Homo-oligomer: A and B are copies of this chain.
Amino acid sequence: MGTTQLDHQPEPKYRHLKTVLSRALDTEFSVGQALPNERELAARFGVARATLRQALDQLELEGRLQRRRGVGTTVAPPRVGVDVSPRQHTWPGAPGDTWVASDAVRTTPPPAVARALDVPAEEPVEVVHRTLIAHGQPVAAEQLHIPVDVLPPGDEPRGTSGAERARAVLARLGRLDLGGQDRSVELGSAGSDDARRLDRLPGSAVLIVTTRYVAGGRTVAVAVATYRADTCRLTFGNQASGSQAPLSLSAS
């Protein structure tokens, strides 16, 4: 029977639509190609636009489609692999780090971050904003929270914000002795801030990567990074013992 279908439960229209569209994307479309508009597609399949959109929503969530208001729907390229492994455990901003720091401000952390840092909610922290660009597109936005009292002193630029100040804060953080770090990944939806930075609508799906940096037995920094779930695949580099290293930079 091959792909048996003894589940005689009526499959919802949008699910069947999704299957049909998915197959069409594989066989009749190429990356970057535009689809007919939603009204046209809905008419062609004989469904209401809302039903068609339910199918498109899922295909977009799976990274198969890219929709832009005022423009149209196109076939999305394969997801970009983004390395998120704690390779040679370094601080953010260390050489080789491809994130771009854009700002640093002193403020009080959100409760969840204060809890992760194990500091009182009123304790001021430095928040460094960074962005990760891949293939010319922003793929992730990060806020790095550091309690002010753990930061070693260092050169302080004038002003209370700005990219220059952000780099100065990272430089000070880098003077600490990094003991370890751990990460977690979960699904979320972009807040309006992150949405703007990621060039997406608020509420779009993101992968939230929370990193805890430990030094001297204490959590000294917490990074909350939101990755575009539609365009990103998070990769965790080879934890191998004796396998070949695929990269050329190795002589540390």
Residues of A whose CB lies within 8 Å of any CB of B are: 7, 15, 18, 50, 58, 61-63, 79, 81, 86, 89, 179-189, 192, 202-203, 205, 207, 214, 217, 229-230, 232-244
Contacts and interface: CB of A to CB of B under 8 A. Distances in A.
A186 B86 contact: no
Main secondary structure of the interface of A (DSSP, over half): mixed
A181 B244 contact: no
A79 to B, nearest CB: 6
A214 B187 contact: no
10 contacts: A7-B192, A58-B203, A62-B187, A180-B243, A182-B237, A184-B236, A185-B236, A207-B207, A214-B238, A217-B243
Contact of A180 (B89, B207, B240): B240
A246 to B, nearest CB: 10
Contact of A188 (B50, B62, B185, B202): B62
B15 A202 contact: yes
